[in-house]
């Protein structure tokens, strides 16, 4: 498989893809290794993960360079991601033993019951490229600590990062028959669906997620899907400073080139502050440095996948043909690499793709609303259910809106963030199941109820 740098189209490396046969061999090894791995104490398994966390920090310069080279992520954002993902390691350190311990319940007349949290076995982790550390850690670190062995398929657009992570896990003491990297695109992903895993944990798009759900459902094993979103942000008229709201909203929309599952994908602004907000928003985005992702000054690098350029151009054309106003950008940049200019559309409505279909790029629609009721109706007008955000001063008023949202996450005066302390989950087309928090480790276990009586 050839890996290209999306910012200059140069070949980075050719790597060996897995075949159906090598997948079967790896699965066989993982099955053997899991039996011993499960026998180890949680503390021993955790020790390897803590060591891995240290190694990642020691090698951060190389890892950030690899991530930027294959995804086009601005180098500072690569550092941010790798540093930020470490909070999963800390979270496991502080909580895993507690969450995986048996829960004993003393009954009447010498009867006892307990809940045991047994690992699922060998699990498949099919992953996305946009935040490979964050979304990878959410699955494979928690799965390993819970006693599973893992077949980890990084995205074909983050395969070098996946291989670098694998190398460091081995150096940290994770046995090779407990963790294996499966290299390739959807073809080997499909072979994983046909193989016999005891759980499927997927991060990626809705169409692939739906396909996976249909394919593996006859196996009757747990399937978790962390999918896309069309996440709304509503700016109320009582925000303390419109300028600050605009700066934060722009960052939520354009960070990582808008290629975040929980990026702000559409903005609604109360009519009283609409003009002021749009002015500040435009000023902020005009100031973004676009260019070589290796430069520390760059905020907007190249998109990871070339195909996305067409989708974005199509959203712009669709919106402008239906009456939207193009305030900024609107097309790809000339020259090599998958660069798309940061794009702002106003006078948009829900007849337009840009307000309905996941953009996953540096493009945003801003719509004026007259009141909270109108904002709620528009925010809810989506098939997705990942996150929703409100910027406002009055808490009660903000919470009325957030309560109405059918999303796994809501934000008040913040957006586009994930924390290991709380579950990460989507509703409707944004997914099934949750990672992170205590739920995120339980996802990799199956309960066994044990009843006993003193004789």
Tokens 């939520």 found at:
252
For the bound state, the minimum distance from the C-beta of residue 289 to ligand NAD, rounded and expressed in Å, comes to 25
For the bound state, the minimum distance from the C-beta of residue 81 to ligand NAD, rounded and expressed in Å, comes to 12
Q: Residue 424 and residue 408: Cα distance in Å, rounded? A: 7
Q: Residue 360 and residue 264: Cα distance in Å, rounded? A: 10
Choice from 70, 226, 265, 416 touching ligand NAD (CB under 6 A) = 226
Stretch that binds ligand NAD, among 17-25, 125-133, 245-253, 368-376 (CB under 6 A): 125-133
Cα–Cα separations (whole angstroms), residue 310 to 5, 157, 303, 317, 331: 19, 18, 12, 10, 9
User: Given the complex with ligand NAD, which of 68 and 304 has the nearer CB atom?
Assistant: 304
Binding-site residue total for ligand NAD (CB under 6 A)?
Answer: 31
Would you count residue 156 as binding ligand NAD (CB under 6 A)? yes
User: Given the complex with ligand NAD, which of 129 and 274 has the nearer CB atom?
Assistant: 129
Residue 268 dihedral angles phi and psi, to the nearest 5°: -115, 135
Residue 165 dihedral angles phi and psi, to the nearest 5°: -65, -45
Would you count residue 129 as binding ligand NAD (CB under 6 A)? yes
Strand order across the 363-369 sheet: 325-328, 343-346, 363-369, 264-270, 231-235, 387-391, 409-412
Would you count residue 65 as binding ligand NAD (CB under 6 A)? no
Would you count residue 433 as binding ligand NAD (CB under 6 A)? no
Choice from 34, 69, 130, 409 touching ligand NAD (CB under 6 A) = 130
Give the footprint of ligand NAD on residues 349-388 (CB under 6 A): 358, 360, 386
Positions marked catalytic: 226
Choice from 6, 199, 222, 228 touching ligand NAD (CB under 6 A) = 228
**Secondary structure of residue 387 in the 3-state scheme:** strand
- Report, in angstroms and rounded to the nearest whole number, the Rg of the chain calculated over CA atoms: 23
Stretch that binds ligand NAD, among 224-232, 294-302, 437-445, 446-454 (CB under 6 A): 224-232
For the bound state, the minimum distance from the C-beta of residue 189 to ligand NAD, rounded and expressed in Å, comes to 2
| Closest to 285 measured CA to CA, from 211, 199, 171, 362 | 362
Would you count residue 152 as binding ligand NAD (CB under 6 A)? no
User: Given the complex with ligand NAD, which of 227 and 341 has the nearer CB atom?
Assistant: 227
User: Which own/partner contact pairs does 170-175 have at CB distance under 8 Å and 24+ positions apart?
Assistant: 171/51, 171/52, 171/55, 172/48, 172/49, 172/51, 172/52, 172/54, 172/55, 173/47, 173/48, 173/51, 174/48, 174/52, 174/144, 175/33, 175/36, 175/37
Tokens 């350190």 found at:
93
The DSSP line for 234-273 is EE-TT-S-HHHHHHHHHHHHHGGGG--TTSEEEEEEETTT
Give the footprint of ligand NAD on residues 181-210 (CB under 6 A): 185-186, 189-190, 193, 203-205, 208
Choice from 91, 153, 270, 429 touching ligand NAD (CB under 6 A) = 153
Stretch that binds ligand NAD, among 5-13, 149-157, 165-173, 388-396 (CB under 6 A): 149-157
User: Given the complex with ligand NAD, which of 395 and 421 has the nearer CB atom?
Assistant: 421
Residues binding ligand NAD (CB under 6 A) = 126-131, 135, 153, 155-156, 185-186, 189-190, 193, 203-205, 208, 211-212, 226-229, 261, 358, 360, 386, 426, 431
């Amino acid at each position: 498989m050839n890996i290209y740098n999306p910012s200059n189209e140069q070949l980075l490396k050719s790597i060996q893809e897995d075949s159906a046969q090598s997948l079967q061999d790896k699965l066989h090894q993982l099955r053997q290794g899991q039996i011993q791995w499960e026998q180890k104490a949680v503390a021993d398994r955790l020790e390897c993960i803590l060591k891995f966390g240290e190694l990642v920090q020691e090698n951060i310069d190389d890892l950030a360079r690899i991530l930027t080279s294959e995804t086009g992520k601005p180098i500072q954002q690569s550092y941010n991601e790798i540093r930020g993902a470490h909070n999963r390691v800390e979270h496991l350190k502080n909580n895993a033993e507690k969450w995986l311990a048996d829960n004993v319940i003393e009954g009447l007349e010498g009867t006892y019951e307990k809940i045991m949290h047994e690992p699922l076995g060998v699990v498949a982790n099919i992953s996305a490229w946009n935040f490979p550390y964050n979304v990878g850690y959410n699955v494979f670190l928690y799965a390993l600590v819970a006693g599973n062995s893992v077949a980890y398929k990084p995205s074909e657009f983050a395969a070098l990062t996946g291989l670098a992570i694998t190398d460091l896990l081995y150096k940290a003491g994770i046995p090779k028959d407990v963790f294996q990297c499966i290299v390739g695109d959807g073809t080997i992903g499909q072979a994983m669906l046909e193989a016999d895993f005891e759980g499927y944990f997927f991060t990626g798009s809705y169409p692939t997620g739906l396909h996976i759900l249909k394919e593996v459902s006859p196996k009757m094993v747990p399937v978790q899907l962390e999918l896309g979103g069309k996440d709304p942000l509503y700016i109320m008229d009582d925000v303390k400073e419109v300028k600050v709201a605009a700066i934060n909203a722009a960052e939520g929309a354009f960070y990582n080139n808008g290629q975040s599952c929980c990026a702000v994908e559409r903005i609604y602004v109360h009519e009283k502050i609409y003009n002021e907000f749009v002015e500040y928003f435009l000023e902020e985005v005009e100031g973004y440095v676009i260019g070589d992702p290796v430069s520390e000054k760059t905020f907007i690098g190249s998109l990871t996948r070339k195909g996305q350029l067409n989708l974005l151009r199509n959203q712009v054309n669709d919106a402008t043909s239906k009456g939207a106003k193009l305030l900024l950008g609107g097309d790809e940049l000339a020259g090599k690499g998958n660069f798309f200019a940061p794009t702002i559309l106003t006078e948009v409505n829900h007849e337009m793709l840009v307000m309905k279909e996941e953009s996953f790029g540096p493009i945003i629609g801003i719509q004026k609303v007259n009141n909270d009721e109108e904002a709620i109706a528009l925010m809810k007008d989506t098939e997705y259910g990942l996150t929703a955000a409100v910027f406002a001063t009055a808490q009660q008023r903000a919470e009325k809106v957030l309560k109405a949202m059918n999303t796994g996450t809501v934000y008040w005066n913040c957006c586009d963030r994930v924390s290991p302390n709380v579950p990460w989950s989507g509703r409707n087309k944004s997914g099934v199941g949750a990672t992170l928090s205590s739920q995120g480790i339980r996802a990799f276990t199956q309960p066994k109820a044990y009843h006993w009586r003193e004789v």
